[in-house]
Amino acid sequence: MKGRVFSGARPTGRQHLGNYLGAVQNYVALQEGYETIYCVVDLHALTTLTGTELLVQNTFDMVLDWLAAGMDPKRSIIFVQSHVPAVSELHVILSMMTPMSWLTRVTTFKEKVQQQPENVNYLLLGYPVLMTADITLYKADTVPVGEDQLPHLELAREVVRRFNNRFGPVLVEPQAKLTEFPRVLGLDGVQKMSKSLDNHIELAADPETTSKRVMQMVTDVSRVYRRDPGHPEVCNVFSLHKQFSPDEAEAIAADCRAAALGCVECKRRLAASLNAWLAPFRERRARFEADPDYVWDVLADGAKRAAAIAYPNLEEIKRAVGLPVSRVLA
Ligand code: TRP
């Protein structure tokens, strides 16, 4: 039997190379060989947002990028988390199976408290429980995530084990599946690529903007003069060459080490290969963008298919817990 993949992403709008290499590329590849479910986790987003006015637009923009990158609504269920409210119910049930102490020790929670001391809200703590509800509602066994999500996955597994010990083997224990490209650095070559740090390269940007961003990238910092030999293995520009200029990468590395290739020219070449690689993506994206109804229909259809899996599972879980299941539903 095919495994079932579930992954979620907060609606952050237009996606960047870090999102693509760290997540979306993998989502697309997993459509081969798995049943795949991809979710825009709008409820999770509420835990960190100060304003919600961009939520709808950001959902649309992210899904556009997903579709343009090759996510196929015929093969994958693509939907918005809040469109299948069963997840909120399951979250409530699982929250009572989760000791507080498990949540307060989660490293990402502690980081969030540091990052937003003025907004330490209730669901910031419950965040991984809602995530556990996402995954278990669909009985997914495989969860593609970045390294930063591993503590959440570990918590999910503990909650599942605890639940199953008490109520029988109802929930499926999920496995994390790390991407091959787990950490994509930003233009600074130090911090993770992220929109909030403004060190990112957008997939949907025009070719000029893309080139400009690439030319701002920090290369091997130990290479001070043009005549100094470079170290491609520690250079962020080279790590992208490996991805986007695979045929040239070996020659680029050799020329860099021999100081035959300077950093400026090296970046010019990266901009060229990146723009060539992005051209068909931009074309597909423009076609979807011109037809917003199509995108929202994809999400409506996704929610319908997701609900068809979610509600029977929720009923089974409620029965296992011992809740009096409604006759109206039975
Ligand atoms: N917490 C994830 C993130 O911030 C998003 C997410 C929510 C998720 N639910 C999920 C990821 C379920 C995997 C599975 O990136």
Residue 3 is predicted with a pLDDT of 96
**Nearest CA owner, ligand 1 atom 14:** 7
Mean confidence (pLDDT) of the chain: 95
Confidence category of residue 50, pLDDT binned at 50, 70, 90 = confident
Q: Render pLDDT for 289-330 as a digit per residue (tens, 0 to 9).
A: 999 999 999 999 999 999 999 999 999 999 999 999 877 755
Residue 326 is predicted with a pLDDT of 79
Confidence category of residue 107, pLDDT binned at 50, 70, 90 = very high
**146 Cα nearest atom in ligand 1:** 15
Residue 125 is predicted with a pLDDT of 97
**10 Cα nearest atom in ligand 1:** 5
**Nearest CA owner, ligand 1 atom 8:** 8
Ligand 1 centre and the CA of 283: distance in Å? 29
Domain 207-287 has CATH 1.10.510.10: no
Is the pLDDT at 180 greater than 80, yes or no?
no
Ligand 1 site, CB within 6 A = 6-10, 41, 44, 131, 134-135, 143, 145, 149, 152
| Bridge partners, residue 143, by sequence | 176
Residue 129 is predicted with a pLDDT of 98
- The tally of CA atoms less than 13 A away on the side-chain side of residue 238 is 21
> How far is the C-alpha of 209 from the C-alpha of 139, rounded, in Å?
42
**128 Cα nearest atom in ligand 1:** 1
Ligand 1 centre and the CA of 143: distance in Å? 9
Rounded mean pLDDT, 131-157: 96
Say what angle helices 122-137 and 292-321 make with each other, to 10 degrees. Answer: 90
Q: Render pLDDT for 59-98 as a digit per residue (tens, 0 to 9).
A: 999 999 999 999 999 999 999 999 999 999 999 999 999 9
> How far is the C-alpha of 18 from the C-alpha of 192, rounded, in Å?
8
Is the pLDDT at 147 greater than 90, yes or no?
no
The preferred substitution site among 5, 7, 175 for testing ligand 1, maximizing ligand atoms within 8 Å of CB, is: 7
Is the pLDDT at 12 greater than 80, yes or no?
yes
Q: Catalytic residue numbers?
A: 112, 192, 195
Residue 289 has which token pair? Answer: 């963008």
**6 Cα nearest atom in ligand 1:** 14
**Fold of domain 4-184+292-321:** Rossmann fold (3.40.50)
Rounded mean pLDDT, 116-141: 97
In CATH terms, are 4-184+292-321 and 207-287 the same topology?
Answer: no
Percent of the chain residues topping a pLDDT of 90? 93
Residue listed under structure tokens 């701002």: 216
Contacts of 133 (CB under 8 A, 6+ apart): 87, 88, 90, 91, 94
Ligand 1 centre and the CA of 85: distance in Å? 16
> How far is the C-alpha of 276 from the C-alpha of 273, rounded, in Å?
5
Domain ranges of the chain: 4-184+292-321, 207-287
Is the pLDDT at 182 greater than 70, yes or no?
no
Ligand 1 centre and the CA of 134: distance in Å? 8
Is the pLDDT at 160 greater than 90, yes or no?
yes
Q: Render pLDDT for 239-277 as a digit per residue (tens, 0 to 9).
A: 999 999 999 999 999 999 999 999 999 999 999 999 999
Residue 329 is predicted with a pLDDT of 58
Number of Cβ within a 10 Å radius of residue 56: 12
